[in-house]
Structure 1
Amino acid sequence: MSVRVAVVGAGAAGLCAARHLLSKPGTFCTPVVFESGTSVGGTWVYEELDEPIREKGVEPEGPERPEGHSRYRSHSSMYQNLRTNLPKEVMAFPDFPFELHLNSFLPHHEVLRYLQKYCDHFDVGPHVRFNTAVERVRPVVMETTDGKQRTEWEVTSSERSGSERTERFDAVFVCSGHYSVPHVPEIPGLQHFRGSVLHSHSYRRPEPFSGQTVLVLGARNSGIDICMELSTVAEQVFLSHRTPRLSFPLPPNVSQTESIDRILEDGTVALQDGRVLKADSLLLCTGYIFTFPFLHESDLGIDMQRDFVGPLYRHIMSPGFPSLFFIGLCQQICPFPHFHCQVQFCVAVLEGAVSLPSAPVMQQECRAWLEKRLSRGVQQRHLLRMEHEQWEYCASLSAEAGFKPLTPAIRSLFEEVWRRRREHPLQYRESNYRLTEEHWERAPSAGQRELLQAKEGEEERVI
């Protein structure tokens, strides 16, 4: 009997899951992909906002939504001028490269176009139910004729029209992402701040901050990028963070500061080193939280907190319910290749090509992993950061499931760009690359290629 699979979300991870399920029609029924929005692409779908600056308010954490915020849409975190911080050569799904003529670092609309082409190429589109929100995913445990237990998944969904239905599936891929609900840190006295407060999730362009003094909290990738963009229009930008001081040169109107301690009653900002600043706007580049309002902890026997889900076997599945797969929970990774590996491992599990240990053994492995991380002093909110561990992880998935591993050149180029981004955060995107199975090399940009082609044409005419 063919396996019935539901996929929650039609972003990059959901499209990848559907693509690989569709590649095995003898094993799987055509998947049902539930997408709350109107198009594929997930977080790469750029949306304008009516209020580029939210006056003295940010969206709440958790599944609750502000009044008027539809559950059929969770607006994107893309800002207008965003460019990828990884080159297309390592971003791509290994079985579907980006167009060669494009520069390595792309504007967000090119990534969306790529995902749309991926969807079309693998004929995923007909299996996506748009404007359909998943309300509940619940395990239903039944006894088989031989006395064993098997789990089916009851998926309740609702359409924008108001109609609701409940269906049964043999497995569920959770591909709903974790870049839609902002993490708003607890800042004592935040209500006293007299300017505008917003999360980077709602940032779209720098112009509304023209001539202002802006305090940016957080110095990871988005914080640094937005800070640099704001420096072109703001009078002064303060980059507030607790990480080690950035060693590269910053624009003259950008200053690094300690993290925020509290907001004083007069609206000024007290820093942890005792300094006090006055700012017109406070921009929170403080990341996102996990939220799966359609799942209940009590059903699954796993810990589902805003900064951690698990521990999960292979960072993918609950030992008690190994037919519910979380794709893309890990952080600090090369996303699309990571999804590619996780999905193929899950497909192999459903096919029976991978034999999972017993539930107690999986639980013991999960506990051992968690205890090891905690004993090293890893904070809970950083438990799922993989960074350099991602390569061994993906290699182990491919070895166990028998699919082609990622090429060494992907890791090599990823690490080269990681290094260059730390050393040259303003210039690293000017480079272009070319990738082979084993190596990478620098390549001319699209503009440089046009100049070279024009020059070659002139030389041919002279000859």
Structure 2
Amino acid sequence: MADAPSARSATIHPLSRHVTVIGAGASGLVEARELRREVVMRSLLYLDRPWVYTPEVESDPVGIDPDRTRVHSSMYQSLRTNLPREIMGFRDYPFVAKEGDEERDPGRYPVLTSQLYHAGHHQKDFASEFGISEMVRLESEVAFVGLVEGGKWMVKSKSKTSITTWKGKQIHSHNYRTPELFRDQVVILIGSSSSATDISRDIAGVAKEVHISSRSVASETNEKKPCFNTTRLNAMINSGYDNMWLHSKIESVHEDGSVVFTDRSVVVADTILHCTRYKYHFPFLETNGIVTVDEDDNRVGPLFKHVFPPALAPSLSFVGVPSKTLIPFPNFELQSKWIAGVLSNRIALPSQEEMMEDVKAFYSSLEASGKPKRQTHDIADYQGDYADWLAAQCGSPVFEEWRKQIMFAVAKNYLVRPKTYHDEWDDDHLVLQAYKDFWKFTTDGSSLTY
């Protein structure tokens, strides 16, 4: 967030502002770099470390108790990237393996839980390379962000120090580390996206039964079927295990340990593992109702192009809200360039009214297409067009053709080889094209390995 401007129109005179970036993960770091490039006076990042492995878990395994001991890491012991490194880096700072660096997994889908976690170390290198490290405030938590007089923002930080009636064990995937905890158990996983897919395979080798509950499954399904169907959902979770079943949503839970699904099937379980998606949650943000977070439907809004609240633009912006994208880091980069360009007055935004009309039209199109509100920020169907639009706003080149083709190749390979996609693929020619491009961003091309 930044000091509010007096006008939205762009000018040839760049502005210097005091900007606070909340979050120093991939999106926060690249935002800080782009702000610095656009002659922003000072940026401050508040850091957490969600992508550094630790065996520690929170005191409340479900993550409900507000007074629980918090652990920011969501990584489990067997975790590997679910995207290849060619599309995980920033466009001018690729996520490449370095020859001779034996401490980091050089694989295309590296293991993420070594002492020097790959992508986390890559981000640390990125921060050092672009002089961002000294801008980061460590071990701080944002407690409050609110509007004050003059269109400015007050930021306060502090140093760090339903199913509830069910009697069985419950845990959220955020606190999952190893499969051994589930040996010989009947486990129900709630969710069917990336973490559920990954963890279900991880525990199926030791658990007695693994039951996946997904709201994407029709409620009228009344058979308990092994996960070997040909639908897209089942293809994603088909792992070759005969102890995995797919169910519709949970309808009710009971004190005797039984769980009833809307398809009327019943499972007596030992553990419920919540693999539900992360929800947008900004408890520290106070905008007097201008920006709202619908936690039931997971919508942040209103946001123009998932970034700017029309009534508060450009003094408040969000990076990384879109989900279901196979090119997250480059999208963070383009969003950051756009925001920095607007804050420096190099790029003009539409009027508040025009942005609000665009948001309303977007919401209407979602409703007309039958998409639920919870998919407001899912951009899987138009992620390429979204990136091209951002690039046009920033005056940046559109994504390289190899990057777009790898994106589709990865999605196809994930469906064809759900169990072995980390180690088998058919797009080596695209990887070679990527590394030819990466060459120009290194001082010593010979240091790149593939």
Taking structure 1 as the reference length, the TM-score comes to 0.78
Q: Is the 8 A contact 2:186 2:271 kept in 1?
A: yes
Structure 1 residue 264: deviation in Å?
Answer: 2.8
SS in structure 2 of the partner of residue 262 of structure 1: strand
1:264-283 deviation line (CA, Å, top 9, x unaligned):
34221112222221111111
Cα distance in 2 for partners of 1:132, 1:265 equals: 41
Q: How does 1:3-14 map to 2 (within 5 A)?
A: 3-14=17-28
What's the counterpart of residue 402 of structure 2? Answer: 409
Structure 1 residue 316: deviation in Å?
Answer: 0.4
Cα distance in 1 for partners of 2:57, 2:378 equals: 34
Structure 1 residue 351: deviation in Å?
Answer: 1.7
Bigger CA drift: 262-271 or 217-226?
262-271
Q: Is the 8 A contact 2:239 2:418 kept in 1?
A: no
What's the counterpart of residue 249 of structure 2? Answer: 259
Structure 1 residue 327: deviation in Å?
Answer: 0.4
What's the counterpart of residue 58 of structure 1? Answer: 62
What's the counterpart of residue 304 of structure 1? Answer: 293
Cα distance in 1 for partners of 2:212, 2:154 equals: 47
Structure 1 residue 308: deviation in Å?
Answer: 0.7
Cα distance in 1 for partners of 2:32, 2:356 equals: 28
What's the counterpart of residue 43 of structure 1? Answer: 50
Q: How does 1:88-237 map to 2 (within 5 A)?
A: 88-100=85-97, 102-108=106-112, 109-142=117-150, 151-160=151-160, 186-187=162-163, 190-191=164-165, 193-237=166-210
Cα distance in 2 for partners of 1:132, 1:439 equals: 40
Structure 1 residue 428: deviation in Å?
Answer: 0.8
Cα distance in 2 for partners of 1:19, 1:348 equals: 12
Q: Is the 8 A contact 2:147 2:286 kept in 1?
A: no
What's the counterpart of residue 35 of structure 2? Answer: 21
Structure 1 residue 340: deviation in Å?
Answer: 0.5
SS in structure 1 of the partner of residue 264 of structure 2: coil
SS in structure 1 of the partner of residue 207 of structure 2: coil
Uncovered stretches (5+) of structure 1, i.e. residues with no partner: 143-150, 162-185, 441-452, 454-463
Q: How does 1:416-431 map to 2 (within 5 A)?
A: 416-431=409-424
Q: How does 1:341-380 map to 2 (within 5 A)?
A: 341-380=334-373
Cα distance in 2 for partners of 1:303, 1:293 equals: 11
Q: Given the superposition, is the C-alpha separation of residues 369 and 68 from structure 1 closer, same or farther in structure 2, using an over 3 Å criterion?
A: closer
1:151-177 deviation line (CA, Å, top 9, x unaligned):
32222223349xxxxxxxxxxxxxxxx
Q: Given the superposition, is the C-alpha separation of residues 412 and 367 from structure 1 closer, same or farther in structure 2, using an over 3 Å criterion?
A: same
What's the counterpart of residue 83 of structure 2? Answer: 86
Q: Given the superposition, is the C-alpha separation of residues 287 and 107 from structure 1 closer, same or farther in structure 2, using an over 3 Å criterion?
A: same
Cα distance in 2 for partners of 1:411, 1:439 equals: 16
Q: Is the 8 A contact 2:334 2:394 kept in 1?
A: no
Structure 1 residue 423: deviation in Å?
Answer: 2.2
SS in structure 1 of the partner of residue 381 of structure 2: helix
Taking every aligned residue pair, what percent have the same amino acid on both sides? 30
Which structure's relative contact order is higher, taking Cα pairs within 8 Å and 6+ residues apart? 2
Structure 1 residue 13: deviation in Å?
Answer: 0.8
Letter in 1 for 2:51: W
What's the counterpart of residue 324 of structure 1? Answer: 316
Structure 1 residue 435: deviation in Å?
Answer: 4.5
Structure 1 residue 131: deviation in Å?
Answer: 1.5
Structure 1 residue 202: deviation in Å?
Answer: 1.1
1:321-378 deviation line (CA, Å, top 9, x unaligned):
1121100111101211110110001111112221111111111111111111112111
Q: Given the superposition, is the C-alpha separation of residues 242 and 34 from structure 1 closer, same or farther in structure 2, using an over 3 Å criterion?
A: closer
Q: Is the 8 A contact 1:409 1:435 kept in 2?
A: no
Count of matched residue pairs? 388
